[in-house]
Amino acid sequence: MSTSPPTPSPLMERGREFREGASPPLFNTFLSLNSAGKGSGDRLQDNIMKEIARPTIDEYFLKIASVVAERATCRRHHVGAVAVRDKHILSTGYNGAPAGAKDCLELGCLRDELKIPSGTRHEICRGIHAEQNAIIQASLHGVSLEGSTIYCTHSPCVLCAKMLVNARIKRYVTFGKYADDSFLGLFKDAGIAFEVDGRPSAEVSYLD
């Protein structure tokens, strides 16, 4: 009686891919290195680690800001901000309605209804910006943002920039652009470094 060949384990499949020179994405790849012999498992792990590029500190926190942005309730832009000092997260914030209030996902976008262009008339909006919420969260918990770096998915509006200047941050890092460049002169006068980095990968690669 014929029998079907055993289903290859993820580790066996990964080994075959390396032998054949394939380089598939490592997104959500779960490997059980314990199922292989010590020598082959170690060699395979070394090869996999060479494929996984360890993110820089800036990439790391920008990626976290992107995850924070997933909580946003704005219908135009999902923005996430992370305040960091000495490689430690001080606070986070995303754009959305005040706590306990109905948001734009439920009520619709007031700015769209009034045809207000992005980057203008900030006072006509149900939402609080991500950077503002990061400042608010820090103040609620008695945390100073002085000397910190803000990692954000977008560049700031001028209102957020004013608040960040008074919060005495020292650096702002982003990969996206908001439709308001008037913050640039303010940051320059205040001595706040503004840096634009590449968009972090949306993939999550790690050894399980």
Q: Any idea which residues carry the catalytic annotation?
A: 131
Distance CA 70, CA 67 (A): 5
Q: Answer whether 96's CB lies under 8 Å from 73's CB.
A: yes
Instruction: Say how far apart CA 104 and CA 14 lie, in whole Å.
Output: 45
Query: Three-class SS string for 68-126?
Result: HHCCCCCCCCCCEEEEEECCEEEEEEECECCCCCCCHHHHCCHHHHCCCCCCCCCCCCC
